[in-house]
Amino acid sequence: MSSHPDHPEEACAVFGIYAPNEDTARMTYFGLHALQHRGQESAGIAVADGSSVLVTKDLGLVTQVFSESSLASLTGHIAIGHARYSTSGSHSSWESAQPHLSAIDDNIIALA
């Protein structure tokens, strides 16, 4: 990607939501599906409920990575999702799929 493009460029999709008492994983799934054109190499969703963070991610399109059962297992009131379009690194590396989890003291955060 050029550092000075003469037209809009798209790379990756990020979707975040805070919605208590809602199915945030499913809402994030549909948000990523709508943004799928921004990244087609991998997809992932992380959800948090205030005490834990759960992540599902894999290589492939949003519809290939998530199933009804995987979405049902992601419960929480806040979520972040990512669909990857690589600009560096491996195109087919699971380690490059996001969101990534990071621990700071006793706190776990998801980054996309």
Structural domain boundaries, residue 66 = 13-86+93-111
The C-alpha R_g of the chain, in whole angstroms, comes to 14
Q: Which residues are catalytic?
A: 12
Asked whether residue 63 is assigned to any structural domain, the reply reads: yes
Asked whether residue 103 is assigned to any structural domain, the reply reads: yes
Asked whether residue 64 is assigned to any structural domain, the reply reads: yes
In total, how many domains does the chain have?
1
CATH of the domain at 36: 3.60.20.10
Per-residue pLDDT band for 86 (boundaries 50, 70, 90) equals confident
What is the structure's pLDDT at 91? 61
- State pLDDT tens for residues 42-74: 999 999 999 999 999 999 999 999 999 999 999
Asked whether residue 27 is assigned to any structural domain, the reply reads: yes
pTM: 0.85
